[in-house]
A and B are shown apart, each in its own frame.
Chain A
């Protein structure tokens, strides 16, 4: 759809990109995390790009990634990056969109924050931190947003069981933690 965005990106910041691709109408650029801020700033400020509207920021946890019908080399294994943070951007003037994906290792899930460039990512990065534990360096106010401060763990990671509750308050005659049901 907007192949020229990817072409311009490869031309100016080729070294910063691990690879580019296109899927189901979206253009995706895998950016190395060291050069993320530079690439993002160029995407916002360059008049031919003009990505001034942020769309979303989220994270994918590849821990259980065993796709059906794909060779075993594509399945996740130890040593591969566990998290991929995705940023989707849109341009109001030129009507094109791009998705930036940054791969992060499991032992050091940090990357620079884009909240200064696009204020919408302020809360969305807080949500990603809350749910996945990915830290954003330079974020003005990185604290939990959906869960309460006393919550331990990062719930959307694949190794957090869905039904593991950490209740804040219970009736006096009920146990603090009811017996665990099927913890999938």
Chain B
């Protein structure tokens, strides 16, 4: 059920990209899709009643991690993947926004149906 709701969020972003004609709205749709994918990947690694994958001083003694930690920790691998993806999404957002600003400066509108003179 939670997975389906996450997929619904992705579908909303895809709808925004497909249907809307405003350039900023299309960028927002891509941002929504990024949220959905990040949330889905983190959900895949969640364990019921889990604890964060950071070892405390009580869980570690002389080279052995306590079994109560290893059997309750959530999956650290999707978190590591998503951590890099979030920062990349900020960089790509800046790139898309700068393209939008340049387009607005040249054509005076955000509407992609009115931008017909594609040149240069």
Q: Do A and B come from one complex?
A: no
Interface residues of A (CB under 8 A from B): none
Interface residues of B (CB under 8 A from A): none
